[in-house]
A and B are shown apart, each in its own frame.
Chain A
């Protein structure tokens, strides 16, 4: 545990799946030197197998055991290493020249056959017409309070920074053994075969140290991402996580105590055989519980109640916070916890 923790809240009701965050991250950190296949930030469509493929069944995290709920035990669960072609997807080149600059109607296509990719199942989702559903789930390293990756490394190459809780791999200590890759239940550590080392999201620490938000958060077109200190009571993270309890960690059952939180997605009602709305949300409640834990129902109830208020023209602090009228209000990074 660090003395302070920087946290991110992603509002899944505002994420439009545009992947601006993904590219902001990629062009900043992972477009070269053996990292081409990696997406430290990516956005997957849910339900789906995600990226890397089937990461939710690839093991890792803490055995549930003694300790408070969600705090996990002290034994790591085994995990497996994702494969390049089948689970991450090769960083294929596209036929830009043929498709964009040559005569004729050539569709834009990867030039090598691909088996998977960072958003392979885009907009696929689940359910039958007219009750199909999907939503976007942006994912990055959660800079966990109890990081399984850190515990798994025999060389103490992974550390959690005291001043902001950012989890980093020391490239000079890492020898590419990949116990961390297997141990992370979110599969958010990647092995760089060219460098022979494991690499991961650095929460844009060089930006954070200057008080600038992470590239994924700052560039977010949907104004879906808030960043603040988890103990700053005026910050969005504290207010959404602790005060309003509408922001929840992903797969808390792994016991790593993630510090990226999600406002769960609301959905419109399903239609019955006569085409009449049933009143039951089309994203099944038990599916959301499987992702975000038992707090989902209360969070969705709060959101619906506050939306109804706003619709009636009444004041809602929660809605004002989530709407984020001013972009700058979404980020409070300076060490005292006030606005940049």
Chain B
């Protein structure tokens, strides 16, 4: 983190204060193979947790504005093959096209690589990196990424996360899926209970990069393998 990034962070620290109780997301066992189908009936068996989203710390002078999305509904299913997580949030318009001047909607799930809540949820830090599953409406697919601080986001060699989204009735439903084991050494382990964080981008509001709505603290995912 550069001195300037530190200053930007400090300037926003008072806004950090809401000691929001972290939500617990309980992964429910599902017999069927759900994979990344956001409309699979098995999702009805998983309890919905509402997570509160707020505008992320900008991290760079270029990033400014107030993110639109204020909360998301999260569900998790543990199947024999792997872990499925579904995010659902309200967005009246699907921005699924990346044109010269428009941005696509997006969503992400983040885990600390070491499974510990001491890793900062703000894109990780030196020596404590995070694994991010990123879905973008323009591609309607997932990207498997890692980061160890602002501006460090990088694609992982193993792209073994799947995601797909569907927009209906003014809401996005996006399901992520990854097998329990990953060939990627920098990927999250998904064992036992793990801290988890979320982000949503509203393309119509020019949200991209660090301009996004995020959970300010780690939430807790229970019932992984």
Q: B151–A155 contact, CB under 8 A? A: yes
CB within 8 Å of A: which of B95-118?
98-101
Segment at the interface with B among A118-126, A175-183, A306-314? A175-183
Nearest neighbor of B152 in chain A, beta-carbon distance: A155
Segment at the interface with B among A76-84, A263-271, A286-294? A76-84
Contacts A175-B209, A177-B208, A183-B62 given; indicate if A154 touches B98 (C-beta within 8 A). no
Contacts A154-B151, A154-B210, A155-B151 given; indicate if A83 touches B101 (C-beta within 8 A). yes
Contacts A154-B151, A175-B153 given; indicate if A83 touches B210 (C-beta within 8 A). no
Cβ-based interface call for A191 (8 A)? yes
Kindly name the residue among B60, B101, B151, B153 whose own CB sees the greatest number of chain A CB atoms within 10 A.
Answer: B101
A-contact bits for B57-73, CB 8 A (1 contact / 0 none): 00111110000000000
Interchain nearest-CB distance for B147 vs A (Å): 11
Which of chain B's residues have a CB closer than 8 A to the CB of A156?
A: 151
How many A-B residue pairs have C-beta atoms within 8 angstroms? Tell me.
49
Q: B62–A179 contact, CB under 8 A? A: yes
Cβ-based interface call for B180 (8 A)? no
Instruction: Among B62, B138, B208, point to the contact of A76 (Cβ < 8 A).
Output: B62
Interface SS of chain A: helix, strand, loop or mixed?
A: loop
Q: A84–B99 contact, CB under 8 A? A: yes
Docked CA distance A196–B208 (Å): 12
Cβ-based interface call for A284 (8 A)? no
Which of chain A's residues have a CB closer than 8 A to the CB of B101?
A: 80-84
Which of chain B's residues have a CB closer than 8 A to the CB of A76?
A: 61-62
CB within 8 Å of B: which of A42-95?
75-76, 80-84, 87-88
Measured CB to CB, the residues of A under 8 A from B are: 37, 75-76, 80-84, 87-88, 152-156, 175-179, 183, 190-191, 193, 196
Measured CB to CB, the residues of B under 8 A from A are: 59-63, 98-101, 138, 150-151, 153, 208-210
